[in-house]
Amino acid sequence: MTDAILVINAGSSSLKFAIYPDAVGPPVAILRGKIAGIGSAPVFTVKNGAGRALPQDDFPQLEKSIGLNDLVPILLDWIKAHSEGITITAAGHRVVHGGPHRDGPARVTQALLADLEALVPLAPMHQPHNLAAIRCVAATAPDLAQVACFDTSFHRTQNRLGQIFALPRKLTDEGILRYGFHGLSYEYIASILPQYLGHMATGRVIVAHLGNGASMCAMKNLRSVATSMGFTALDGLMMGRRCGTLDPGVVLFLMQHKGLTAQEIETLLYEQSGLFGVSGVSNDMVVLEASDDACAKEAIELFCYRAARELAALATDMGGVDAIVFTAGIGENSARVRRMICERLEWLGVDLDLAANELGASRIASEASSVDILVIATNEEAVIASATRSLTQKL
């Protein structure tokens, strides 16, 4: 029997899972899967560790309206039936918000869950689903050790100026701070960066996590110095459906003059803005890149313009930049977006090798570039598996 760790990343409409051996060394998944379309038309897919799709015909037919609470037991049963020779010894979860003090993962207890519940208003689109998955696993497998890994933890190394807003001190003291997110992705990149950059990995690095959610992190000595996301995961870069940085006066105007409720504004800023809102076509970069629509083109241009501005601002935090890393769905796959961002940064000494970029090479800076440019696939699940293993190891 091989001991293994189940990794769960539960979102509003999807649940991603992976199984990793509970063994020493860099975590390599045995199985990865996803239930997409939760709440509308759930679809289950699963791949083996090598990325080959596995048959899933024996996964039970799912009702369209099935929720997370009913899905988790079905999933755990399926995993049990399909993991011959494997015993799941612990579950690790992605949890978006850990609050101002948690600088690393934590074992799940009732007290921890109560603390994390109090943070729901700070991450209303993600935290409730993350916590629901933990509760479902606890209800289905009460003896399984569980670990929560936070997207905010990596940024707790930032100095005070990086974390506070120019608001009355009282509000800062109450925890209205720039928390930052995508920390598990940045932690993975930090862990693997020395393999690409050697001792230069401890230099001034900006990681651009460009997915549906998008943010950037300035890292020095492989630690977070500054980041683009703020109090919530709404701040910073333009995203798939989120607006990113916005004049707060717009929110006041929407309330006072257009009569929108808080709920309506939340939906507008989290669901109807970003690439989706500007293009009026899609939140999906693949669709936008294939489109001839002028608004789709403008959405891509705005995405890149805003990304370049943010990157330059983060470079200021470190007095320059030695390397840029592109990661996540768009960062890893869109040569066009990488090129359009880099073109705006030529004044910083950034010079792309256009051919290497088009080919999707991992090093894409030209010989003349004074800034290294890398493309590295992120792996948040591997970070969660490692953390879960170290927090649940039997002594």
Judged by the rule CB under 6 A, the positions of this chain that interact with ligand ADP are 211-213, 240, 284-286, 289, 328-330, 333-334
Query: 226 with 317: CB under 8 angstroms?
Result: yes
| Residue 237: Cβ-neighbour burial (10 angstroms; 0-12, 13-18, 19+) | buried
SS3 106: strand
Q: At its nearest, how many Å lie between ligand ADP and the CB of residue 28? A: 20
Distance, CA of 375 to CA of 242 (rounded, Å): 24
Phi-psi region of 53 (alpha: psi -120 to 50; beta: other; left: phi over 0): beta
Q: At its nearest, how many Å lie between ligand ADP and the CB of residue 166? A: 29
Distance, CA of 259 to CA of 56 (rounded, Å): 48
Q: At its nearest, how many Å lie between ligand ADP and the CB of residue 392? A: 26
Q: At its nearest, how many Å lie between ligand ADP and the CB of residue 291? A: 12
Nearer to ligand ADP, 89 or 333 (CB): 333
Whether 284 is a known active-site residue: answer: no
Distances (CA, A) of 88 to 21, 44, 70, 146, 185: 9, 20, 20, 11, 24
Q: At its nearest, how many Å lie between ligand ADP and the CB of residue 33? A: 15
- Which one from 22, 151, 351, 372 is the annotated catalytic residue? 151
Q: Looking at 158-215, list the stretches that DSSP marks H as alpha helix, in order from N- to C-terminal side.
A: 160-163, 169-173, 183-197
The CB-nearest residue to ligand ADP is: 329
Sheet holding 205-210, edge to edge: 223-227, 214-220, 205-210, 323-327, 372-375
Nearer to ligand ADP, 284 or 358 (CB): 284
Nearer to ligand ADP, 28 or 286 (CB): 286
Residue 108 DSSP one-character state: -
Distance, CA of 4 to CA of 6 (rounded, Å): 7
Hey, what are 193's tokens? 């960066």
Distance, CA of 32 to CA of 293 (rounded, Å): 36
Hey, what are 114's tokens? 């109560």
Q: What is the largest CA-CA distance in the chain?
A: 64
Q: At its nearest, how many Å lie between ligand ADP and the CB of residue 240? A: 6
Hey, what are 347's tokens? 């004044």
Nearer to ligand ADP, 317 or 380 (CB): 380
Q: At its nearest, how many Å lie between ligand ADP and the CB of residue 256? A: 33
Nearer to ligand ADP, 286 or 355 (CB): 286
Nearer to ligand ADP, 106 or 352 (CB): 352
Query: 83 with 139: CB under 8 angstroms?
Result: no
Query: 338 with 354: CB under 8 angstroms?
Result: no
Nearer to ligand ADP, 103 or 284 (CB): 284
SS3 161: helix
Nearer to ligand ADP, 88 or 234 (CB): 234
Q: At its nearest, how many Å lie between ligand ADP and the CB of residue 335? A: 8
SS3 324: strand
Catalytic residues: 151
